[in-house]
Structure 1
Amino acid sequence: MLLGNDISEEFALEVRKNVELIYGIPNVSSAYISKTKIAGMYNLEYETKQLDFVRDTARTNHHQCSITFDSGNAGQAAVVSQSGAIEMDGILDYRYEPTSGNTRKVVLKSTQAKGTEKRYVEIWNSHQLERCLDVTDIHGKFYTDETFGSLEWSHSGKYIVYMAEPKEFDAAKPIYKLGSDEEPSVDNKGKDKEKVKEKPKAGMADQRKYEFNEDYGETFTGKRPPVMVLVDIYKNEVRQVEGELAKMRGVQPGQPRWVKRNIGNEEEKEFVIFTGYKVEPRHIGLVYCTNRPSDLYICDVEGCNVKCVTKSDYNARSPRPVIGKASEIVYLSTKIGGPHANINKLMHLDLDSLEITEIVPEVHTPSQEQTESFPSNFPGLYFNQLPRDPWMEMGSGNKLLFCSSIWYSNNVLLAIDICKKKVFTLSECINNQGSTSFLTVCDDGTLVVSISTPNQVPDIYFGTVSVNNNGNSVCVKEWIPLGLLSHTETAKMLKESVEHSIVKFPENTKNLEVILTKPKSKNDLSRHFHTDDLPPLAIYPHGGPHATCISGLSAIPTILTMLGFAVAQVNYTGSLGFGQDAVNELIGKIGELEVDETVYVAKDLAENKKLVSKEKWVYNGGSHSGFMGAHIAGKYPGLFKAIVLRNPVINLGEMISKTDIPDWCFNEIGLEFDYDMIDAASTLLTPENYKKMWESSPQRFYANVTDPVLLNIGAGDRRVPPEQGYQYHRLLKANKKCHTECRVYPNVGHPLDTVEAIRDSVVGFVLFYYRFLS
């Protein structure tokens, strides 16, 4: 990070302090609630994640507290006691056994000793370690992500299933270590071919070590595709699930869960149900993409009797056994292909009859009228995976599933009655804006959520589910804040310094909204940028393009607002949460429709609504919004005083051979992509395909760019190859019409989310803005 002559050390230090302050705000990542023996008292465990700018690492902390909560007494809640935060050092996941009364749990643990990683599966009973199983030599690293990961007890408590890397194959041995017994004997009769294959000649490496077996791209760089692992508690053993499952080709298991099925006249038998991603002929990128080909499969504990139980033009993922019905599941289903993120359907599957029922369908255009099944303006379901434990059973026998879903520019809490196929929204009593994230629910209807707004740090709230009118009405009358995370000076400062609103543009389109944050007043912090009557404008659209800016706390917009900017987080046509027709509207129009809408927002806020300066505008975009920013720089030269592009898409055609999602380059401009890679016209960069991609690419306009451009590039980005930004920087430098800088951050991927990259890139672009706005 370079300081210009006009930037003081004092100002740079002030910016850095505030960047580290905002990025250091803890976020609640998970929670677990249970009743105690004392009426009205609950035990709450929760985890927070935050960045540590001293140790340069992300930290996960475990917290535990006792809460008294009386929903009938004006909604009073009080924290009776709480433990100090305990860092989850080496603990990657843990899970309580459902039948143990919340006393027995399994823990996945990874430790480092003398530079060597060791992995363990621990079984705890209350506060006592019951057993510790060393699994270092059984498999590689644990998978605990939401795409593949899982950690689940079977209903009987006999088994545990999880996902992990397979064991690494043996490397070659030095010649001097070879003895006569190292030479494998060849079975001339061919009876022992497998053993001969597994024991290579002359001490060479296992031949499978160098077989092409690609990873799954962004966030999975260098990780071997996972395998399913079974812990047999009774036998005290851990093994990879093999059988038919291990021999399957073209299907990658993930997200295993336990179910039961009736087999003939026998008693119910335990099976594993899992998501099977179609991964042939290539391992295409999975993270952030809900349109991937996948089905649900079941198998027994030996990996045998494998059966596909879903099959359609829509995928199937995220299976969740229905509460009290282990032979039934619900799952998410999304149309395969097309936009990388789409609306979800919620489906129900009876594993005995294999009958599939649709619970919540796609919503193409939200209705302003309330229907028998949906509240007014319900846009459909928009989230990547179902919550881990989403269930509550009502007294009537009906079952409620809770989830958080994007609803226009907000994130709302939904309750779905899977028996009546009805959707209820539970967020309107909190505020008209904000992000409500479901955490956990107790069997008595006590809900725990995390709520934030653009000027409110995430905090934990309690509420009680009220079911009235024979289950036709489900609501939470009041949400009670616990104040576990919000009683800080940072939280107070945000409340006092930031105001926010959602701005709509009905004269343009109903699919365009902006989350507008502004400084409440001029102060010592905002004085550097907010020098006139109206604040300067920072345009900050989301990437994707099929994603959404949510009206919760977001670090970069918050930092810029505190420093004096009015920040417009733009949800353009194509954003999630506005109905599927809005998503489809952008297909074939990228680089035009969303770019024109974003420019319209800037001009309208300044010239018509008179909320921001007419002259002092800056732009900040990453990934697809970096693509948009490069378009704006080339099509509207002189419009912005400074432009920051983070891992931007610059040339679609040049991306295809290196990105982990080549289908994106086809689908977003309206071309079909063949996942089977049979049809050349829908797989390869033919001259016709390149022509259309070139016409949508901002590289076409690089010679027009006159505004200062700063590029922030993650050297390990698998989604948008770093070469996209490098080449754009070279072209701008060669053209000599604008000031351009390029910063490259090692060991970080698409989100630029390491502490090192965040510190330097965010402080760097704030100072970059200052140089060109002053």
Structure 2
Amino acid sequence: MESPVLRSPEEIAALYRELSQCPSLSSACIGPEVTTQYGGKYCNIYTEWSQQDLERAESVKFCRQYLIFHDSQAIVYSGPSGTCTEIKGELLSRESPSGALKAVLRKASTGKGEEKQFLEVWDQNRKVKSVNLTALEKHGNVYEEDQFGCLAWSHSETHLLYVAERKRPKAESFFQSKAPELSSGCADEEELARPEKRDKAVKGEQFVYHDDWGEALVGKSVPALCVLDVESSNISVLEGVPEHISPGQAFWSPGDTGVVFVGWWHEPFRLGLRHCTNRRSALFYVDLTQGRCELLSDDTQAVWSPRLSPDQCRIVYLENGTLGPHQQCSRLRMYDWYTKVTSTVLDVVPRQSQGQFTGIYCAALPGLCWAADSRRVVLDTAQRSRQELLVVDTLTGSVSSLTAGTLLGSWALLTIDRDLLVARFSTPSCPPTLKVAFLPGAGHEPQVSWVCLEEVTPVPDISWAIRALQPPPEQQNPQYEGLDFEAILLQPSKGLEPRKPPLVVMPHGGPHSVSTASWMLNPAALCRMGFAVLIVNYRGSLGFGQDNIASLPGHVGCQDVKDVQYCVERVLQEEPLDAARVAVVGGSHGGFLACHLIGQYPGTYQACVVRNPVVNMASMISSTDIPDWCATEAGFPYAPDALPDPARWAEMLHKSPMQYVAQVRAPVLLMLGEEDRRVPPKQGQEYYRALKARGIPARLLWYTGNNHALSGVEAEADGFMNMALWLLQHLRC
């Protein structure tokens, strides 16, 4: 018996509007501790959230505050303080160490439609400083993203450190006419004082190409470390950083004697950096008293996310090998500031022992991650198909879970201060909730007691479960035998009568990423419409050990495709699903897999939707910001000076979905971002034309102003509606 599926475009739009209003929780900050006259203690927790505003076609950011009364070991009372307030124009914000001051980087439009950046300092109840960074022209735009960006108070709270694009000399044509010189008696003193009047333009440089850091980092080319003297408002651009290094993720060293930062090598040219934790980089220290730059880590690896302990004695950071898979199982390393000794706290985990720690797979460590004892570190990481909170003892290397015994779902640490933890929890059927707890003493971590600050009602009529799968013997990788993988299955649970919903298969991108059991808007909305949704973490995904990751390069288009197909066939056999109505949806490498599946298994799938898919690795390698990805995943070593190799191009084409386009029968909807630097839209256009030439129904949506993520609010909403209607039409729901 077929299950009813929501069909009305108006009802589908109303459902999407309702679920898109579930806000995402992005950050939290714990205010100073206050002791009352009766001896009790309380503090304020400031949180930032965002949600889609479909009418304004933008993502709006807002804050909400909460009061926590406690005795330093347990929470006595907690609750919201006031209502939500929208945040306007904030790019970065940071509380000072004492909590007395707050720095804000803000963008604001002038009356002429120009955007300017301001660096503000606020005390408890007023703005005490506003510096127009754009007008000063000491540097270009400040970096607000988390790859390079930072806003760091000195320990003395007298200086602010940030990263901005290094100022370039103005350029003009060889044929630029000179303005007549004014006599000193006629010159406007204010005009002469402006920086652009003092700077001499360089002729013939206006069309010089400047290499940047690729997808989502367009225009970010030469970052510079900058310091604001809060008292005088003077801005300095720090010298001493090696010319072949791009600095970022900086903070003040112990004693404010200098600046510690991560430096990325950018010679001979920059490769895409977003979601690529395998780029050669190292930890550096610029000594401001002596003007020298010192290397603090191995300079042959990839490092990121350095975090200074509360006692200012140790720095922990993450480390990977260079090149190879873009994301891998990482080491947790620690540098002792005073002994100058570096140690490995946690090493790469090849394989998971039964029920044990699977390794670290972090895009970044939390901004504040140290316990008050300056010995333990708290972090969140994928552990198979869940994201868990873990406590790592940096002296013994022991790992304890803070979430193992809790409800099934996924956790993320927002901050920890004075051992008060603030975390986000969600499931595939429950939007993010805000939880707090005190970190128990060493050895007692499992006794943690979580308190929910912001209750959220789960979305009704969605059931879900995580399924473990073992590839059949003929699909084992002989170099990495015995690996398993998982999938998350969402099903509509409304009603008790027998019903067979259609199935939407969703392999993730990457390929070295992971879909965790957390809130995801599109799968939840599809499930509420009446579809079952299968999210597959095939071999090669993060969270299952380094061997799992290493098993895929050289086998893309085969091992990952067979894992997804095997999972689909098992689920269709074991669950009450309609095998005659199956679709596949994916983006990036997930789109690569979707196009492979409809080509290799045309009898299984009746519809396909892909976002910025990889369809031809051979043609992509010369136009993407990550040419190393094409080589690595095809099974070849990457070298920046490598010349075109016909044999390798042939092998990349052989592993690409374009090889199977003649066998495709399913109608295909493509969504492409005009500004995608990762998988350039020519890839999707190539596939679209190949489908049209063979008479396969195909539709192409072209999103201007969007890059690889297609994360613009308008693009996301339109993409969902078009996907839903395409599935309804071609699955004959």
Do the two structures share a fold, i.e. TM-score over 0.5? yes
1:504/1:510 contact within 8 Å kept? no
Residue 241 of structure 2 is aligned to residue 277 of structure 1? no
2:471/2:563 contact within 8 Å kept? no
2:505/2:585 contact within 8 Å kept? yes
**Which residue among 751, 770, 773 is the counterpart of 2:709?**
751
* Structure 1 range deviating more: 221-230 or 119-128: 221-230
Paired residue type of 1:389? L
The equivalent of 1:591 in structure 2 is 557
Q: The residue matched to 1:753 in structure 2 has which SS?
A: coil
The equivalent of 1:565 in structure 2 is 531
1:154/1:270 contact within 8 Å kept? no
1:653/1:685 contact within 8 Å kept? no
The equivalent of 2:477 in structure 1 is none
1:542/1:622 contact within 8 Å kept? yes
Change (3 A) 1:573 1:55: same
1:456/1:553 contact within 8 Å kept? yes
Residue 410 of structure 2 is aligned to residue 451 of structure 1? no
Q: Deviations over 1:311-348 (max 9, x none)?
A: 2542222111122024x311110011111110110111
Write the mapping of 1:107-256 to structure 2, written as runs, cut at 5 A.
Answer: 107-114=104-111, 115-136=113-134, 137-167=137-167, 169-172=169-172, 178-180=179-181, 199-200=200-201, 209-242=206-239, 244-245=240-241, 248-256=242-250
Q: The residue matched to 1:19 in structure 2 has which SS?
A: helix
The equivalent of 2:518 in structure 1 is 552
**Which residue among 619, 623, 635 is the counterpart of 2:584?**
619
- After TM superposition, give the deviation of residue 511 of structure 1 in Å: 2.4
The equivalent of 2:329 in structure 1 is 343
**Which residue among 491, 501, 504 is the counterpart of 1:518?**
491
Paired residue type of 2:62? N
**Which residue among 438, 461, 464 is the counterpart of 1:497?**
461
Gaps of 5+ in 1: 1-7, 183-194, 261-267, 369-375, 524-530
- Mapped to 1, the partners of 2:468 and 2:326 lie a distance apart of 26
The equivalent of 1:371 in structure 2 is none
Q: Deviations over 1:191-232 (max 9, x none)?
A: xxxx9x9734xxxx5555543321111112234432211112
Residue 635 of structure 2 is aligned to residue 664 of structure 1? no
Change (3 A) 1:198 1:71: closer
The equivalent of 1:265 in structure 2 is none
Change (3 A) 1:71 1:158: closer
- Mapped to 1, the partners of 2:290 and 2:315 lie a distance apart of 20
**Which residue among 675, 692, 700 is the counterpart of 1:742?**
700
Paired residue type of 2:601? Y
Paired residue type of 2:635? G
- After TM superposition, give the deviation of residue 70 of structure 1 in Å: 6.6
Q: The residue matched to 1:22 in structure 2 has which SS?
A: helix
The equivalent of 1:103 in structure 2 is 100
- Mapped to 1, the partners of 2:578 and 2:498 lie a distance apart of 8
Q: The residue matched to 2:551 in structure 1 has which SS?
A: helix
Paired residue type of 2:599? G
- Mapped to 1, the partners of 2:295 and 2:471 lie a distance apart of 49
The equivalent of 1:186 in structure 2 is none
Count of aligned pairs: 700
- Mapped to 2, the partners of 1:107 and 1:539 lie a distance apart of 43
Q: Deviations over 1:489-535 (max 9, x none)?
A: xx35x0x2111110112364652111111111159xxxxxxx97121
1:33/1:44 contact within 8 Å kept? yes
Q: The residue matched to 1:83 in structure 2 has which SS?
A: strand
- Mapped to 2, the partners of 1:579 and 1:436 lie a distance apart of 19
Residue 6 of structure 2 is aligned to residue 12 of structure 1? no
TM-score when normalising by structure 2: 0.91
2:612/2:672 contact within 8 Å kept? yes
- Mapped to 1, the partners of 2:290 and 2:132 lie a distance apart of 22
2:6/2:529 contact within 8 Å kept? no
Q: Deviations over 1:536-577 (max 9, x none)?
A: 111011100000011011111111111111111100000000
Paired residue type of 1:132? S
- After TM superposition, give the deviation of residue 71 of structure 1 in Å: 8.5
The equivalent of 1:481 in structure 2 is 452
Write the mapping of 1:751-770 to structure 2, written as runs, cut at 5 A.
Answer: 751-770=709-728
- After TM superposition, give the deviation of residue 26 of structure 1 in Å: 0.6
TM-score when normalising by structure 1: 0.86
Q: The residue matched to 1:419 in structure 2 has which SS?
A: coil
Q: The residue matched to 1:633 in structure 2 has which SS?
A: helix
1:169/1:209 contact within 8 Å kept? no
- Mapped to 2, the partners of 1:727 and 1:750 lie a distance apart of 17
Paired residue type of 1:251? I
- Mapped to 2, the partners of 1:701 and 1:219 lie a distance apart of 31
Residue 674 of structure 2 is aligned to residue 711 of structure 1? no
- After TM superposition, give the deviation of residue 630 of structure 1 in Å: 0.9
- Mapped to 1, the partners of 2:526 and 2:133 lie a distance apart of 47
Paired residue type of 1:345? R
The equivalent of 2:353 in structure 1 is 367
Q: The residue matched to 1:139 in structure 2 has which SS?
A: coil
2:162/2:227 contact within 8 Å kept? yes
Q: Deviations over 1:713-743 (max 9, x none)?
A: 111111001000001000110011x211111
Change (3 A) 1:312 1:141: closer
CA root-mean-square deviation: 2.5
Gaps of 5+ in 2: 184-195, 473-481
2:328/2:542 contact within 8 Å kept? yes
The equivalent of 1:538 in structure 2 is 504
Paired residue type of 1:420? T
Q: Deviations over 1:368-399 (max 9, x none)?
A: 2xxxxxxx4210001111111111123xxx52
- Mapped to 2, the partners of 1:532 and 1:219 lie a distance apart of 47
Q: Deviations over 1:72-99 (max 9, x none)?
A: 78x66431x522222221111111211x
The equivalent of 2:402 in structure 1 is 426
- Mapped to 2, the partners of 1:72 and 1:96 lie a distance apart of 24
Q: Deviations over 1:9-51 (max 9, x none)?
A: 9811111122222222111100012333232432110000111
Q: The residue matched to 2:298 in structure 1 has which SS?
A: coil
- Mapped to 1, the partners of 2:246 and 2:471 lie a distance apart of 48
* Structure 1 range deviating more: 31-40 or 532-541: 31-40
**Which residue among 612, 632, 636 is the counterpart of 2:601?**
636
Q: The residue matched to 1:767 in structure 2 has which SS?
A: helix
The equivalent of 2:377 in structure 1 is 401
- After TM superposition, give the deviation of residue 354 of structure 1 in Å: 2.8
Residue 385 of structure 2 is aligned to residue 416 of structure 1? no
- Mapped to 1, the partners of 2:364 and 2:428 lie a distance apart of 25
Change (3 A) 1:179 1:591: same
Paired residue type of 2:122? W
Change (3 A) 1:303 1:344: farther
Q: The residue matched to 1:306 in structure 2 has which SS?
A: strand
Q: The residue matched to 1:602 in structure 2 has which SS?
A: helix
Q: The residue matched to 2:536 in structure 1 has which SS?
A: strand
Write the mapping of 1:28-107 to structure 2, written as runs, cut at 5 A.
Answer: 28-34=25-31, 35-38=33-36, 39-69=40-70, 77-79=77-79, 81-98=80-97, 100=98, 102-107=99-104
- Mapped to 1, the partners of 2:529 and 2:710 lie a distance apart of 22
Paired residue type of 1:460? L
- Mapped to 2, the partners of 1:745 and 1:215 lie a distance apart of 23
Residue 312 of structure 2 is aligned to residue 315 of structure 1? no
- Mapped to 2, the partners of 1:209 and 1:476 lie a distance apart of 63
2:505/2:583 contact within 8 Å kept? yes
Change (3 A) 1:769 1:581: same
Change (3 A) 1:10 1:346: closer
- Percent identical pairs in the alignment equals 31
2:618/2:653 contact within 8 Å kept? yes
The equivalent of 1:730 in structure 2 is 689
Change (3 A) 1:53 1:379: same
* Structure 1 range deviating more: 275-284 or 343-352: 343-352
1:498/1:519 contact within 8 Å kept? yes
- After TM superposition, give the deviation of residue 748 of structure 1 in Å: 0.3
- Mapped to 2, the partners of 1:755 and 1:711 lie a distance apart of 18
